[in-house]
Structure 1
Amino acid sequence: MGVTRRFLDWQRPALASAAEWLREKYRPQAAASTQTLDLRGVIVVVPGGRAGRRLLELLVERAEAERLILFPPVIITEGGLPELLYTPQRPFASELTQGLAWAAALRKTPRAVLEKVVLHPPPSGDFSRWLELAELVRRLHTELAADGLHFGHVAQAQTGISGFHESSRWQALRQVQEEYLRTLDGLNQWDIQTARLVGIEKKEFQTDRDVVLLGTVDLNGALRQILNQVADRVTALIHAPLEWEDRFDQYGCLIPAVWKTALLAIRDEQIERVDGPADQADAVTRWMASLGGKYRSDEIVVGVPDKTLLGQLRRQLEQSGVKSRAFLGVSVGQTGPYRLLESASQFAQGRRFADLAALVRHPDLEDWLQPQLTASLTKQSSRDMNRQRRAEDILTTLDIFYNEQFAARVDPQRMEQIKNEWPAIHALVSVIDQWLCPIDHKKQRLFAWADGLRIVLKNIYGHRVLNPQNVDERILLKACEEIELQLEKLAQVPQELEPEISLKEALRLILEPLEGKFIPPPPEPEAVQLLGWLELALDDTPALAVTSVNEGFVPESHSSDAFLPNELRSQLGLLDSERRYARDAYALSVLLATRADLRLIVGHRDAENNPLIPSRLLFATDEPAACAQALRMFGKLEEVPPRKNLLSTGLQQRDTSNFHVPLPTKDFNPPTFLSVSQFKAYLACRYRYYLDHVLSLVSLSDQAAELDPAAFGSLLHDVLQHFGRTDEGERRSTRPDEIFAFLNDRLESLAAARYGKDAGRAALRFQVEQARIRLRTFAEWQARQTDEGWQIVHSEDSETQLECSFPTDDGPMKIRGRIDRIDRHQHSGIFRVLDYKTADTAKEPQQTHLQSDQWIDLQLPLYRYLVRTVEWQKGASIDGQVQLGYINLPRDQASMGCAIADWSREQLEDADKTAREVIHGITHGNFLPKTEPPPAFSEIYAAICQDNRIGKRRPLQDEEATP
């Protein structure tokens, strides 16, 4: 006796019809007096968990309506049925154990045999690549075994296909497969798929319960063979009209050849073609609005074959005031514990500074890290705290450290060297190292890695009390549970398969399986459900919109398979393009027959602007209709209403932005002194001066891969400062080699002190070499200057600043600054005040200080006042006229040299006048207007100043003050 087929009412949803069939079959009228609906002797097989849960709900509702006591059936998906029909004699190997067993089998296989499988087998010590190959072979084995095949069957099948010459490859794989099975046999474990095939061969499948197949229209070959052994207890419920019985086989599965030519009755008004993803989301909201409140939210479903549309859809629905619930939920790979393990292991393996910065920024680490740092820093003596910031400001300190040190790696020896100068950084690294101590090993066995990683996670999450009703805490809890399950699997691997592996390899075994696991969102009864394509056929809501009715999604595309191409799949009876087409053609037929309101939305472009092709299912109709459909689908896009600007509740569209540039505060304390550089900043932009020098805003980042121009210049300045202040003979030498030897020594020691031995990363080492080239050219120039009679009488002191009093109408203002260098000619007695300039291109003082005869920088003119405070020798000040200029150290060595300004007395007096105006503006709080367009090198304030904003913007002085 074969499987019994029953066709369900096509005009109703499948689950409702199935629930009614179960009630009628297992509680006939003759048993009406029992007041029970006893389905304990029934196994209902469904294609997905959601359909099973909904079927149970419908059975409960029917039982309640009839006041019956329900004994529910076993509801299970296709993959779980076989183990209900036979008793395995051995425990099944986990996927992890299977993968390791495949890796062991591959490594035992002679290399000459393996070279028939892959051209270049992995080296013996590369465990990661062996795992990759093992996973590839495991997936092939699983798919083939699910259809009752092994690798030897593929070798035999290929002989009948012209153009295929891969038999030797599959014969080699069969050798590996046999070794894999022997490996598991030696562990007294079974491969689940192979165990089923053995059970089929030995006819071990039996049951005393009825098996009901519901919506299982694409069963694999092994399951069909299992059903043959219990066929007298099996009923296939087929959701289709009886006149379609020739489209289904004896198991209620689709016959692809028949469905290939089946026609679909799609009405034109059910199809809408739009442009991009945003237009698809907009089409969904327009369709929902067109329903006119006919349905509750829980009676509406949106099908999302392309999961990349989920974010766009959810945002659009939320802005339209509609709650939604996505079918995927949150990937474990996106959760805090997963990413913490990922970040911690990356730092532990390579100790890269970038990995430390990423790890410290992990939000789950913050609550634990702050008290640890505070406790560590309280042990520092007060003399060590001169550069110390609070523990809660560690990210700022870390950025400052990076921008000064440009550390590529966090070297323990280097940390000891800087612990007095950077106590917070030293404390941070010490705390992190202590936390990661359980995984600070080169190689160890799997159970040891599992124990160490569990301790690492427990230190961060073990003290937290989580509320499963809170959405975020529920996700955290579920993520920890999934990771713990994976760690348990790691610890349970048989000792014979436990290799000594690195942390990277252990993390791969733990994290990769979790990437594809999702934490389902909590139930939201009033939300519109967003479901995947394969779930729609058994859904029973009356209103449905399906997005992305395009090739690649409906039907789903399958990427090219190097081992099992489509023609070979067809020959073997595996899932191929014909079966996918049949499955999706049937699903669309169900939707067309059972949905009161159906909208099929076809996209024209994807999110990356690539063209999309309409689904071939849309053309599965008679020839005239197919031609008309083609003209519509490939013609010009139809006009649709413009998308509305969806604003949150309470907001109204305005002609101007609600985001204002904040006005300077009126509560302002005038400065008691100004630095020379502040004058240039104020002249460039008063408002940006306010942000920089009044509010003291700074921009910090750890993204720089090399020294910026200012840091490069600072390195050269410091080397030259040492040269100018040395009492040794090099400062007065006329020999370039002697001067360069001194400069080179100082460059080496400064670079090592700041950036570590060998100057850290490659880009930094290259810049140090660039600095060395410039210093060699400078040494030659300096020797000539000394030979011409110029002597250095003053060099910048990094510890102190010069200070003078500058007269203004409002009273004197103190001006501070550092003069890089002052030279005196030993014969003429002329002084020249010089500033080192390290820009790539040499410039004259006239270019940098004046623009259209207006002063834009007052550095050199103000040095006339500062220089009077310098004693060029004990008791001797600098009076009278001095030369002002630059020493240019540009990229072009030919441009190296001194550039002296030739300003007239009148120009310098005008500079003094400009300086008094600047002082008056600053002390009186005149920080408007904001310069437009923004001055050069002001990008750090672009967001505050809205420099890149498109659209109308009022002048800053008209903005409303913001608190």
Structure 2
Amino acid sequence: MPVQAAAWLARDWVGAGPLDLSGVGVIVPTRQSGRRLREALAEHAAARGSAVLAPRVVLPEDLLVAPGGLAAASRLETQLAWAETLRSADLEDYRAVFPIDPPARTFGWAARLAAQLQRLQATLGENGLRLRDVVRRAGDGLPETTRWTQLAELEQQCDRVLAAAGRCEPQAARLAAARNAVWPEGCTRLVLLATPDPLPLVVGVLTVLAREHPVEVVVFGPPGREEDFDEWGRPRESAWSHRPLALADFGSQVHLCADVADQAARVVQLAREYGGPEGALAVGVADADVAPALESGLRGAGLAVFNPGGRPRQRDGLHALLAALVALVREPAFEAVQALARCPDFLSWLATRAGGDFSPAAALGELDELHARHLPATILHALGHTGRRPAARTVLEGAQGLRDRLLSGEFPANAAATLQQLFGARRVAGGSALAESAEAWMEVLREAAAARENFAGLTAAEWWELALSRFGESLGFEPRPAGAVDLLGWLELLWEDAPHLVVTGLNDGRVPETVAGDPFLPEALRARLGLKTNEARFARDAYLLAALAECRRATGRLDLLVGKVSAAGDPLRPSRLLLACEAAELPARVAALFRPLSAGRPGLPWRRAWRLLPAVEPGPTRVSVTAFRDYLRCPFRFYLKQVLKLETVDPAKSELDALDFGTLCHAALEALGREPALRDCTEAPVLREYLLAHVDRRSRERYGPELTLPLIVQLESARQRLARAAEVLAEQRAAGWGVAGDNDLERKFELRLGAITVSGKIDRIEHHADSGAVRVIDYKTSDQAVAPPAAHVRSARRDETAPDWARFRVEGRDLVWTDLQLPLYLEALAGEFGPAATAGYFNLPKAVGETGLVLWEAYDDTWRAAARRCAEGVAAAVTAGTFWPPAELPAREEDDRFAGLFHHGTADSVDWRGAP
């Protein structure tokens, strides 16, 4: 198509001198089509050994130039004017628009609704209408006359707000431009070139201009079919809505694809076949959701990609930094600092400011540790816990300093100063993505500065939110890399002359484009207002697809990819255009387009990309009591945790984990036991008051006075459990049980097993005042009450793989040890109290009615001997470095912190080279 367009424009050129088109104004549909036209003209002239004086290439909307002296408001100013109008309006006067009051008439509510009304104005403006014109243009029988009348009144109020600021609403400015159409300066000819879908408002401008000078309309289509288009080159609905789509070979040209990834894979395969696909292969993107997968796939294949439609700035690193700063301005939350600390630009600034003494890795580690231990809500709270975390303090102080700067002075001056502070010491290459994004952000700040002169009263956070939204909506345009594969939008494909064209995402709703469920403009009203309807879009897209197929029928190839599901996994329908055919051919097309498709392209079997290679370290000579449970569960996971000291970090942690919750309750019970005046107390209310006061005090020290809702709920659960524990403790003391002194609380011990030293800490040792009996108590704050045997052993399986020393038989049952905590406690105390001591759990479960002591009454010499044998077996295995093979834990195994490291089996995921 560009070649034909260039030839048509140069049809009167005989080759003497340069091709002079400087006096010609050419209207094209998109920027990409304008670029292709200029390239084609240059090639046309170069083929004849000459040059070209290029025409003035413009888009249709470029003709809408507001008359002099009319200052059109920016999008930001218009949004602010609408927001002010909405917040000041008496909603009782506009019940047809606001049948229900919003929950809160905040600025955020007004800004979001303002953006929606701006979009409505823009849609109506396509045909030269404003809100106040709807009732008149729609005529009698409009069912929502009152609603549109009230919307028009709100629009008039918004106009008055803008007028007071010396501004004109943008759509009103466009309408004024249409009414005062001016022939483009310096042009002797005006050509509407292959633009099948100009806005009705632009058509109105061209109609006015055509009264003074002829406007040439050029359509790309078959000779002799001029009646299929109206006088402005738009496909007529009557000619195209029922025309069959003629494809040379439907079966080989239309490809049903399982999903977005399948479509991308097909395009990548074709591109690889060409080697250098530039000029030979073009890719159309009818569904924008397919574009990210295409870009990723082509780049992964080593091919350059160019998207002339631009990239959303939400993907920019600068946008992520600005979003983190917005969160920091909104409130001094620790969560905002965490997000900011994950922006490389912020960390680079901190490192520069610290003069090389700052480690980003150490800072992130300390922040994660601080978060996991204290769950700070604010920067101030977090700073109170940075005594031994200097890198975290540097981050927090840096974030607080930025926040102070962002809140001082006025927006946008403070925003510009903050970014200058962050990037002042860095050299940014001109033309880089960062430089281009920074310039776009500065343009937004200039727009905000102009708006602030007339719209005051917004908070710093509100200004930041507006500016970030405006920045995120904009598009970034990068230079086209050499040899790139262009990802072209649907309306740009008519201007693509590559012999092989692949169109992806040819699904209903995308092609033909469909508008459904519009809250203001249903299809019937669109037709009455002269706006683009679904029928008009259908005719346009039917023409475009027919043109793409016809121009490659003789020499070329067209492939159409139809997705079964969207990127979000939603089912898709094939484009209705593909079903436009003769009745005899329809069954075959339906069968091809709706056939079952279980998978995408024939998939390769899953294959492991690599295996983990752990560092080889000798086994420890000192372990804790709880480490025995780790080894019995999985020797290799024991190695990762106890030898390599691997830990997981939950950056999204928002509440106490099981360890935090247990520590909080344990500390209260320990403190109670260490109060001499309360050791003999049998009054539950007194004990309860002490326990609850201790929990409140400890939680304030660790988590601060401002608690999040999850923390409040968890602390209340701890209070309820401890309140019931106070009753149990009072009952047990009345029955004669109690601690003799501080040595019976949190008693530390060591136990020698072969070459291994076992260390532990016993929560509570109780003595009976009359009998002298001793019992060892361990507090359990799990969700459900548990009995000691159930926590320590399980039944042997038919295909049991546990070592012999972990198995034993008691009372006719074959059992396997899973934990040795209480047996090792008793073993460590055997020299002091003998074998008569018992052990048990003090359960503090969610169901407070189940709170109480559960003793291991059946623990006898048989159990004791089996436990000793198992403990010695674990110690010997650790000493020998026996950490392999691993246990293949069930997929839903609880507390498997390392599950994310292993895929399709632990043993197959690891290249174990440890000692045998």
In structure 2, give the amino acid aligned to 1:743: L
Relative distance call for 1:929 and 1:482 in structure 2 (3 A) is same
Q: Tell me the matched-pair count.
A: 886
Task: Report whether the alignment pairs 1:398 with 2:367.
Answer: yes
Could you tell me how far apart the structure 1 residues matched to 2:374 and 2:54 are? 68
TM-superposed CA distance for 1:570, in Å, is 1.5
Which position in structure 2 is the counterpart of 1:774?
721
Report the alpha carbon displacement of residue 597 of structure 1 after superposing the two structures with TM. Answer: 0.8
Match of 1:576 in 2: 533
What is aligned with 1:353?
334
Match of 2:313 in 1: 332
> In the alignment, is the contact (CA less than 8 A) between 2:542 and 2:577 conserved in 1?
yes
Does the aligned pair in 2 maintain the 1:44–1:211 contact within 8 Å? yes
> Structure 1 residue aligned with 2:477, among 494, 515, 520?
520
Shift of 1:215: 1.5
Q: CA deviation at 1:829?
A: 2.8
Tell me the CA shift for residue 636 of structure 1.
5.3
* Residue 818 (1) aligns with residue 761 (2): yes
CA separation of 1:368/1:517 partners in 2, compared to 1, >3 Å: closer, same or farther?
same
Report the Cα distance in structure 2 between the residues aligned to 1:792 and 1:374, rounded to whole angstroms.
56
Q: 1:740 & 1:783 partners in 2: Cα distance?
A: 10
Which of these residues, 792, 802, 805, is aligned with residue 748 of structure 2? Answer: 802
Q: In the alignment, does 2:421 pair up with 1:466?
A: no
1:690 pairs with one of 639, 648, 652? 639
Distance 2:293 2:28 in 1: 31
* C-alpha distance in structure 1 between counterparts of 2:466 and 2:644, whole Å: 50
153 and 914 in structure 1: CA distance in 2 versus 1, 3 angstrom threshold = closer
> Bigger shift: 894-903 or 394-403?
894-903
Structure 1 stretch displaced more, 703-712 or 931-940: 931-940
Q: Which amino acid aligns with 1:490?
A: A
Q: C-alpha displacement at 1:187, in angstroms?
A: 4.0
Partner Cα separation in structure 1 for residue 356 and residue 227 of structure 2:
77
SS of residue in 2 equivalent to 1:436: helix
CA distance in 2, matches of 1:592, 1:142: 33
State the Cα distance separating 1:491 from its structure 2 match.
Answer: 0.4
The aligned residue for residue 872 of structure 2 is 916
After superposition, residues 323-472 of structure 1 pair within 5 angstroms as 323-370=304-351, 392-407=361-376, 409-410=377-378, 412=380, 414-415=381-382, 417-418=384-385, 420=387, 425-440=392-407, 448-468=410-430
Change beyond 3 A, Cα 1:418–1:626: closer
Q: Deviations for 1:402-427, whole angstroms, at most 9, x for unmatched residues?
A: 222233x2163x35654546665554
Task: State the secondary structure of the residue aligned to 1:465.
Answer: coil
Q: 1:537 aligns with which of 478, 494, 497?
A: 494
Amino acid at match of 1:502: T
Question: Which string of whole-angstrom CA distances, capped at 9 and with x for unpartnered residues, describes residues 445-487 of structure 1?
Answer: xxx2111222222222333222357xxxx22222211111100
Match of 2:148 in 1: 170
1:482 partner SS: helix
- 1:797–1:818 CA contact under 8 A, matched in 2: no
Distance 2:388 2:482 in 1: 59
Q: What's the counterpart of residue 750 of structure 1?
A: 698
Are the equivalent residues in 1 in contact too, given 2:347–2:360 (CA < 8 A)? no
Q: CA RMSD in A?
A: 3.3
1:574 Cα deviation after fit: 1.1
Are 1:101 and 2:53 counterparts?
Answer: no
Given candidates 551, 556, 562, the residue that maps to 2:513 is 556
CA pair 657-641 structure 1, distance change in 2 beyond 3 A: closer
Deviation digits for residues 132-184 of structure 1 (CA, Å, limit 9, x no counterpart): 33333333333333422333432123334x4x322233333333444444444
Aligned residues of 2:328 and 2:403 also touching (Cα < 8 A): no
Paired position in structure 1 for 2:576: 616
The whole-number CA distance in structure 1 between the counterparts of 2:394 and 2:150 is: 56
Question: Counterparts of 2:672 and 2:529 in 1: how far apart (Å)?
Answer: 81
1:835 is paired with a residue whose SS is strand
Unpaired runs of 5+ residues, structure 1, are: 1-12, 378-389, 646-652, 870-876
Give 1:212 shift: 1.4
Q: Give the superposition deviation at 1:690.
A: 1.0
- One-letter amino acid of the structure 2 residue matched with residue 543 of structure 1: H
After TM superposition, the structure 1 = structure 2 runs for residues 863-902 of structure 1, keeping only pairs within 5 Å, are 863-864=825-826, 866-867=828-829, 881-892=836-847, 893-902=849-858
Aligned-pair CA distance for 1:535: 0.8
Q: Distance in 2 between matches of 1:546 and 1:202?
A: 41
Distance change in 2, residues 1:51/1:280 (3 Å)? same
CA–CA distance in 2 between the matches of 1:132 and 1:204?
36
Q: 2:457 aligns with which of 473, 477, 500?
A: 500
Q: Does 1:764 align with 2:707?
A: no
2:229 to 248, 256, 260: 248
Query: What is the correspondence of 1:583-622 to structure 2 with a 5 Å cutoff?
Result: 583-595=540-552, 596-622=556-582
Q: Letter of the aligned partner of 2:208 in structure 1?
A: Q
- The answer to whether the 8 A contact 1:794-1:823 is kept is no
- TM-score by length of structure 1 reads 0.85
Alignment TM-score, normalising by the size of structure 2: 0.89
Change in CA separation of 1:923 and 1:315 when aligned onto 2, cut-off 3 Å: same
By how many angstroms is 1:664 displaced?
Answer: 6.0
Q: 1:217 aligns with which of 162, 185, 196?
A: 196
**1:34-66 alpha-carbon deviations (Å, 9 max, x no partner):** x22222211111110111111111222222232
Q: Cα gap change, 1:192/1:887 in structure 2, threshold over 3 Å: closer, same or farther?
A: closer
Moved more, 324-333 or 115-124: 115-124
Instruction: Check the 8 A contact 2:379/2:396 in 1, yes or no.
Output: no
CA distance in 2, matches of 1:286, 1:693: 48
Distance 2:129 2:382 in 1: 59
Q: Deviations over 1:749-785 (max 9, x none)?
A: 1122122226x12222222222222222222222233
Q: Call closer, same or farther: CA 1:295–1:730 in 2, change over 3 Å.
A: closer
Question: Which residue type is aligned with residue 871 of structure 2?
Answer: A
Q: 2:37 aligns with which of 33, 50, 55?
A: 55
2:540 alignment partner, SS class: helix
Q: 1:281 matched to which residue of 2?
A: 264
| SS at structure 2 position matched to 1:932 | coil
Unaligned runs of 5+ in 2: 795-813
Distance 1:58 1:910 in 2: 88
Give the structure 1 partner of residue 602 of structure 2.
643
Report whether the alignment pairs 1:848 with 2:791: yes
State the SS of the aligned residue for 1:298. Answer: coil
1:21 aligned partner, one-letter code: W
Equivalent residue of 2:279, what SS? helix
Contact 2:286 2:504 in 1 (8 A): yes
In structure 2, relative to structure 1, the CA distance for the partners of 1:921 and 1:756 (3 Å cut) is: same
Amino acid at match of 1:771: A
Q: Is the 8 A contact 2:36 2:495 kept in 1?
A: no
Q: Which is worse superposed, 894-903 or 689-698?
A: 894-903
Could you report, residue by residue, the CA deviation over 1:638-669 in whole angstroms, capped at 9, with x for unpaired residues? x9995253xxxxxxx8x97353343561x42x
Alpha-carbon distance between aligned partners in 1 of 2:256 and 2:841, rounded to the nearest angstrom: 67
The change in CA–CA distance for 1:918 and 1:44 in structure 2 (over 3 A counts) is: same
Distance 1:158 1:607 in 2: 39
1:858 aligns with 2:820: yes
Aligned to 1:478: 436
Distance apart, 1:316 and its partner CA: 4.1
Query: Deviation per CA, 1:465-513, whole angstroms, max 9, x where unpaired?
Result: 22357xxxx2222221111110010001262x31211234213321223
Q: 1:137 aligns with which of 109, 117, 120?
A: 117
8 Å contact from structure 1 (residues 549, 603) kept in 2: yes
Q: 1:107 to 1:744 in 2, by over 3 A?
A: closer
Distance 2:884 2:114 in 1: 68
CA contact (8 A) 2:262 2:600 kept: no
- Residues 546 and 600, structure 1, Cα contact 8 Å, conserved in 2: yes
Structure 2 residue matching 1:213: 3-state secondary structure: strand
- Offset of residue 890 of structure 1: 3.0
- 1:67 matched to 2:49: yes
Give me the identity figure in percent.
Answer: 28
